[in-house]
């Protein structure tokens, strides 16, 4: 029987500021700001929020020269690597590089003149700044798309061929500090595309499902697609693309990685779905505990530490789950049994369950 997740597909390592993508480096989490880049204060504030919840790399849209010029000051005020997302105008890429960005996201095919491509590649090479070739299903050249059937398999082939067209432009200029992404809004197309690319190149892969949409559907689509790829050992860095607050993108990415044991830091909260056996007012108890544990969760993530908390509603599965956690509580008839590292600490009235559990968590957390 094969292990799961499958062993990581080893790719080349690329340095993005202080963060390594690929090789045997940990899988990193990315997001993209949703503020106007020219609004430096708002953009920096959003990046700081994303840093707090565990974003490793941040990408900014750069639609015009004022946005490109704002990057230098934004870079000065943040702590994580900064990626400039640029299309069509090579001068924006040059301004971004002068401003100290850590990576470019572009498609050389969008730069129509060979001399413009050469100028960007030369400037990136001088600064040791990698370039992500980011191909989305919605932006494939129609002439190229026409060569492939309009099926998930055909669309995957079109994505790969489109990316290879751009990659070869860089390789011809002796530039191989490359990251690749091949995103579609269709999960199957995306998975097939990344599998195909691994057969022909070993550049690090940025994975995700593009335009996944609003939660909860977008959360599910991203989790299925990204989870499938990670389960096959595919992916070096990821973004969950949602029509939502980017903090939710980062949180979702964390949960995907934790579900596959690819990140084990922070607070893992286990709770039951409840049923007719539950004799306590369970949902408000779990909701309150989850909200109260947010600061601890963020601290443990930063420190690379973990804590497993179980909150269960009845005596069927509850005692076993609570016993297996670092700290847990299992509901009975208007009471809960409190556990710590497998040992029963005592019976707690329903009205005191939240505070009793949190008090025990604080004791344990102080020793971690």
What is the average pLDDT across 246-263? 95
Q: Which DSSP category does 205 fall into? A: B
Buried b (16+ CB within 10 A) or exposed e, 193-214: bbbbbbeebebbbbbbbbbbbe
Q: Do 77 and 164 fall into the same domain?
A: yes
Q: Do 171 and 307 fall into the same domain?
A: no
Average pLDDT, the chain: 94
Instruction: Indicate whether 8 belongs to any domain.
Output: no
* Confidence at 313, pLDDT banded by 50, 70, 90: confident
Q: What is the pLDDT of residue 212?
A: 83
Q: Do 43 and 179 fall into the same domain?
A: yes
* Confidence at 23, pLDDT banded by 50, 70, 90: very high
> What's the CATH code of the domain at 353?
3.30.413.10
Q: Do 132 and 276 fall into the same domain?
A: no
Residue 16 in this model has a pLDDT that exceeds 90? yes
What is the average pLDDT across 255-260? 95
Q: Do 278 and 222 fall into the same domain?
A: no
* Confidence at 4, pLDDT banded by 50, 70, 90: confident
Q: Do 346 and 235 fall into the same domain?
A: no
Residue 109 in this model has a pLDDT that exceeds 80? no
- The three-state secondary structure class of 14 is strand
> What's the CATH code of the domain at 157?
3.20.20.20
* Confidence at 242, pLDDT banded by 50, 70, 90: very high
124 close to 84: Cβ distance less than 8 angstroms: no
Q: Do 240 and 281 fall into the same domain?
A: no
Cα(206)–Cα(182) distance, integer angstroms: 8
Torsion (CA) 300, 301, 303, 305 in degrees, nearest 10 = 60
Q: Do 57 and 115 fall into the same domain?
A: yes
Sheet containing strand 82-85, strands side by side: 178-183, 131-136, 103-106, 82-85, 57-61, 28-32, 237-239, 206-207
Q: Do 98 and 22 fall into the same domain?
A: yes
Domain C-terminal end among 238, 259, 280? 259
Cα 139 to Cα 62, 103, 155, 336, distances in angstroms: 18, 21, 12, 55
What is the average pLDDT across 336-350? 93
Question: What are the pLDDT digits (tens) for 24-47?
Answer: 999 999 999 999 999 999 999 999
Instruction: Indicate whether 201 belongs to any domain.
Output: yes
Q: What angle do CA 249, 252, 255 make, to 5 degrees?
A: 155
Domain C-terminal end among 241, 259, 277? 259
Instruction: Indicate whether 139 belongs to any domain.
Output: yes
Question: What are the pLDDT digits (tens) for 126-163?
Answer: 999 999 999 988 878 888 888 999 899 999 999 999 99
Domain containing 297 equals: 266-367
Question: What are the pLDDT digits (tens) for 77-104?
Answer: 999 999 999 988 999 999 999 999 999 9
* Confidence at 1, pLDDT banded by 50, 70, 90: low
Q: What is the pLDDT of residue 343?
A: 93
83 close to 50: Cβ distance less than 8 angstroms: no
Which residue, chain included where needed, has tokens 């069927």?
316
Alpha helices in 20-151 (DSSP H): 40-53, 65-77, 90-98, 114-127, 142-145
Domain tally, the chain: 2
Q: Do 203 and 91 fall into the same domain?
A: yes
Q: Could you tell me how far CA 230 lies from the centroid of its own chain?
A: 11
For 150-195, give the DSSP string: SSHHHHHHHHHHHHHHHHHHHHTTT---EEEEEE-SSHHHHHHHHH
Q: What angle do CA 330, 335, 340 make, to 5 degrees?
A: 40
Q: What angle do CA 123, 126, 127 make, to 5 degrees?
A: 90
Domain C-terminal end among 229, 259, 289? 259
Instruction: Indicate whether 5 belongs to any domain.
Output: no
Q: Do 237 and 308 fall into the same domain?
A: no
The pTM of the full predicted model, rounded to 2 decimals, is 0.92
Q: Do 143 and 284 fall into the same domain?
A: no
Instruction: Indicate whether 9 belongs to any domain.
Output: no
């Amino acid at each position: 029987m094969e292990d799961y997740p499958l062993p990581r597909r080893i790719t080349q390592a690329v340095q993005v500021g202080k963060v390594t993508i690929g090789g045997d480096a940990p899988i990193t989490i990315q997001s993209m700001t949703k503020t106007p880049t020219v609004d430096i204060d708002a953009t920096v504030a959003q990046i700081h929020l994303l840093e707090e919840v565990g974003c490793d790399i941040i990408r900014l849209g750069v639609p015009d020269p004022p946005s490109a010029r704002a990057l230098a000051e934004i870079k000065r005020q943040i702590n994580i690597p900064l990626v400039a997302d640029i299309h069509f105008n090579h001068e924006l890429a040059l301004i971004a590089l002068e401003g100290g960005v850590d990576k470019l996201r572009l498609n050389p095919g969008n730069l129509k003149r060979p001399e413009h491509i050469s100028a960007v590649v030369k400037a990136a090479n001088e600064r040791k700044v990698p370039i992500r070739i980011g191909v989305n299903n919605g932006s494939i050249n129609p002439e190229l798309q026409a060569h492939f059937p309009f099926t998930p398999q055909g669309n995957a082939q079109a994505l790969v061929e489109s990316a290879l067209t751009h990659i070869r432009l860089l390789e011809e200029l002796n530039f191989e500090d490359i990251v690749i992404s091949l995103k579609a809004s269709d999960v199957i197309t995306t998975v097939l595309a990344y599998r195909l690319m691994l057969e022909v190149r070993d550049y690090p892969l940025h994975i995700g499902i593009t335009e996944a949409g609003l939660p909860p559907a977008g959360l599910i689509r991203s989790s299925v697609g990204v989870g499938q790829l990670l389960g096959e050992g595919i992916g070096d860095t990821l973004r969950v693309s949602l029509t939502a607050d980017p903090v939710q993108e980062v949180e979702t990415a964390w949960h995907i990685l934790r579900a596959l044991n690819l990140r084990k830091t922070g607070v893992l909260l286990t709770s039951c779905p409840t049923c007719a056996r539950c004799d306590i007012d369970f949902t408000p108890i779990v909701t309150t505990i989850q909200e109260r544990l947010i600061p601890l969760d963020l601290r443990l993530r930063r420190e690379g530490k973990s804590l497993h908390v179980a909150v269960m509603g009845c005596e069927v599965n509850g005692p076993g789950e609570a016993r297996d956690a670092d700290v847990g509580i299992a509901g009975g008839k208007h009471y809960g049994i409190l556990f710590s590292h497998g040992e029963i600490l005592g019976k707690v009235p329903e009205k005191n369950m939240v505070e009793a559990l949190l008090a025990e968590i604080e004791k344990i957390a102080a020793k971690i």
